[in-house]
Amino acid sequence: MIQTLSKERAQSLFYVGGILLLFLFLALGFQTALDLSSQKSLYDSSVDHELSANVILGKTLWDKNNCSGCHTLLGEGSYFGSELDTVFSRYQGHREAIKDSIRFIDTYGIRERRVMPRFKFTESELDAIVDFLRYASEINIKHWPTPIKG
């Protein structure tokens, strides 16, 4: 025997289901708000993270010269060149060594070897690129992507 749902019963089922779903939505929203408020900031609070004009210029130079066409930074870009998330720590914060690695490119050796183009950056542009790389290296990416030395 087929039993049909009466209009009153369908209405009460609709209201009870709607109230339960609304309660579930509010509870999950509240839980999400609690979780987000307890998370640490993405940045190390001991470091000043204001975007200076030099950092902005460094990012502009990064984009203008298509550095991400060969290098990876914060998981974005290509893996043809070295990973630059850790360049500041690899050079132990020595700005001149980082600038020299950009300025003096070894073009001798094996012909088929990957070689970075020789850019004609000014000293102030090199400073801006190093400031941008320093800024990017201080962003807490919560160990993603896995730090790759290279």
Write the CATH number for 118: 1.10.760.10
Q: Tens-digit pLDDT profile for the chain (150 aa)?
A: 567 888 899 999 999 999 999 999 999 999 998 887 776 655 555 555 568 899 999 999 999 999 988 898 887 888 888 888 888 888 988 999 999 888 887 666 566 667 788 888 999 999 999 999 999 888 877 666 555 555
> For the chain, what is the domain count?
2
Residues 62 and 114 both lie in one domain: yes
pLDDT, position 106: 66
Q: Which two tokens stand for residue 72?
A: 């990876």
Domain that holds residue 18: 1-39
Look up the pTM and report it: 0.62
Question: Apex CA 39: angle with CA 38 and CA 45, to 5°?
Answer: 115
47 part of a folded domain: no
Question: How many CA atoms lie within 13 Å of 73's alpha carbon, on the beta-carbon side?
Answer: 21
Residues 131 and 89 both lie in one domain: yes
Residues 8 and 66 both lie in one domain: no
Residues 32 and 60 both lie in one domain: no
Question: Apex CA 82: angle with CA 78 and CA 86, to 5°?
Answer: 110
DSSP H or E run through 76: strand 76-77
83 part of a folded domain: yes
User: How far, in Å, CA of 57 to CA of 9, rounded?
Assistant: 67
Question: Would you give the DSSP letter of residue 110?
Answer: -
Backbone angles phi, psi at 97, to 5 degrees: -65, -40
